[in-house]
Chain A
Amino acid sequence: TQLLEQSPQFLSIQEGENLTVYCNSSSVFSSLQWYRQEPGEGPVLLVTVVTGGEVKKLKRLTFQFGDARKDSSLHITAAQPGDTGLYLCRTGFQKLVFGTGTRLLVSP
């Protein structure tokens, strides 16, 4: 049973579009991290959220932690080709698992 479900699995958009990806679980998280992985490389941390309702911004990326700390979202404004990659959420709960991932392709 996958602890963290991410949606959508795949997303292909044009440059300049906005998008939101989600990370959901039936369990409460003590903390949650978002990583981005580019082809041929390991994941790189984007942000850590620890407080229910917390919102963090990283340039065009906005991260939100659900009030109940069971879900999180990542919103990208005006996506660029450089945003292409696999987006992964990770929790420290139980087995320190990563989510199923959202593969994003942004075309020029």
Chain B
Amino acid sequence: DAGVIQSPRHEVTEMGQEVTLRCKPISGHNSLFWYRQTMMRGLELLIYFNNNVPIDDSGMPEDRFSAKMPNASFSTLKIQPSEPRDSAVYFCASSQTGIRTGELFFGEGSRLTVL
């Protein structure tokens, strides 16, 4: 069975460029989460969707970050313009059951480096 699929796996870009990260959740899962992981701050929740609707985006660092989920099988996280401090591994995860107790299934992550 296909798990959560993220692309690209690695992205190197220059400061000021737009970055788009993509995620395909597990079919049938109704919740989708975007996390960012760094050594300094650990695993931070950026935003989560339930049934394609953004429920809480208070973790989004600032207006440079935006996320969309146009349908149940696709989500994007966009950074425009990117900055060196955005360098991190970005994870997408999906869940089938209730948000609070459901198992999260993670993708392999997208490692972003902003020069």
Report A's interface with B, CB cutoff 8 A: 30-31, 33, 35, 40-45, 48, 50, 88, 90, 92-93, 95-101
Contacts and interface: CB of A to CB of B under 8 A. Distances in A.
Given A40-B108, A41-B108, A96 B101 contact: no
A24 to B, nearest CB: 15
A43 B3 CA distance: 13
A42 B103 CA distance: 13
A101 B39 CA distance: 10
Nearest to A92: B100
A93 B93 CA distance: 18
Contact of A42 (B45, B58, B99, B107): B107
13 contacts: A30-B100, A31-B101, A41-B109, A42-B106, A43-B91, A44-B106, A48-B103, A90-B104, A92-B100, A97-B45, A98-B35, A99-B42, A100-B42
Given A42-B91, A48-B101, A95 B106 contact: no
Contacts of B99: 92, 96
A33 B42 contact: no
A33 B100 CA distance: 10
A92 B33 CA distance: 13
Contacts of A50: 101
Interface residues of B, number: 21
> B33, B42, B48, B91 — which one has the most chain A CB atoms within 10 A of its CB?
B42
Interface of B: 4, 33, 35, 42-43, 45, 48, 56, 58-59, 91, 93, 99-101, 103-104, 106-109
Given A40-B109, A42-B107, A101-B43, 16 more contacts: A31-B101, A33-B103, A41-B106, A41-B109, A42-B106, A43-B104, A44-B106, A45-B103, A45-B104, A88-B43, A92-B99, A95-B58, A96-B33, A96-B45, A97-B45, A98-B42
Contacts of A35: 104
